[in-house]
Amino acid sequence: MYSLNDFSLNIYDGQIFGLLGPNGAGKTTLISMLCGLVKPTSGHFTINDLNYTNHSLKIKKIIGVVPQEYALYPTLTARENLHYFGSMYGLKGSVLKDKVIETLDLLGLLKFADKRIETFSGGMKRRVNLIAGILHNPKVLFLDEPTVGVDVQSKNAIIDYLKFLNQNGTTIIYTSHHLAEAEDFCSNIAILDRGRIYAQGSPSGLIHSTPEARNLEEVFISLTGKDFRDDV
């Protein structure tokens, strides 16, 4: 993994910001820092003008995090998982219950609400994983590869729901290896490699500014090259 170097980035309210890059580019490190999981060795950042050193709890109240792995209890049902994680955001009573029902319904999972997560398919787990991060209507939502390994239907449901959240005021920062998905979904993109930002702008702007590039994948290859990033 490359550490982040000489790194400066502004993400504005209401954006859907894609962090793209090959393996080891530093995407997960960046997301982990923004979520408060890893402390930068130097430099600083703020979220909504708040920093983790002084306002950790305030930041955690306004952000939502959807990790790459299914961060759910396999032996609990979808509803039990969501009630638990929702309560950790301070939601309770009918507000929590209604929110769980509403989001499960929106993502097509209400009839499976009382089934254990361990019986779910990958796509269903991804959707519950997403719900667990947005129950409290976060101002900023971080997603680390939210559509990896899921079927087309689940991917569409997740992307549609994220667009819906964004239209309702949630700023979205997400990482992905699906460049076509990012091209369609993101309002802004940063292409990272070896811990640095190689380019940033809107998907269409990046395509137009790269000679002979017809899509985001060609922009990506022209900036990061065709070499593997295998490392152990």
Binding site for other proteins (CB under 8 A): 35-39, 52, 56-57, 60-61, 63, 65, 67, 69-76, 80, 83-85, 87-90, 92, 116, 132-133
How far apart are the C-alpha atoms of 171 and 15, rounded to whole Å?
5
CA distances from 41 to 5, 28, 140 (A): 11, 16, 24
Beta carbons of 162 and 172 less than 8 angstroms apart = yes
Q: CB 103 → other proteins: shortest distance, Å?
A: 16
Instruction: Tell me if residue 200 falls in helix, strand or coil.
Output: strand
87 or 209: CB nearest other proteins: 87
31 or 186: CB nearest other proteins: 31
133 or 195: CB nearest other proteins: 133
175 or 200: CB nearest other proteins: 175
Q: CB 191 → other proteins: shortest distance, Å?
A: 25
Q: CB 50 → other proteins: shortest distance, Å?
A: 13
Q: Which residues lie closer than 8 Å to 62 by C-beta, 6 or more apart?
A: 47, 48, 138, 139, 140
73 or 198: CB nearest other proteins: 73
Instruction: Tell me if residue 18 falls in helix, strand or coil.
Output: strand
Q: Which residues lie closer than 8 Å to 102 by C-beta, 6 or more apart?
A: none
Q: CB 180 → other proteins: shortest distance, Å?
A: 27
How far apart are the C-alpha atoms of 40 and 196, rounded to whole Å?
15
Q: CB 55 → other proteins: shortest distance, Å?
A: 11
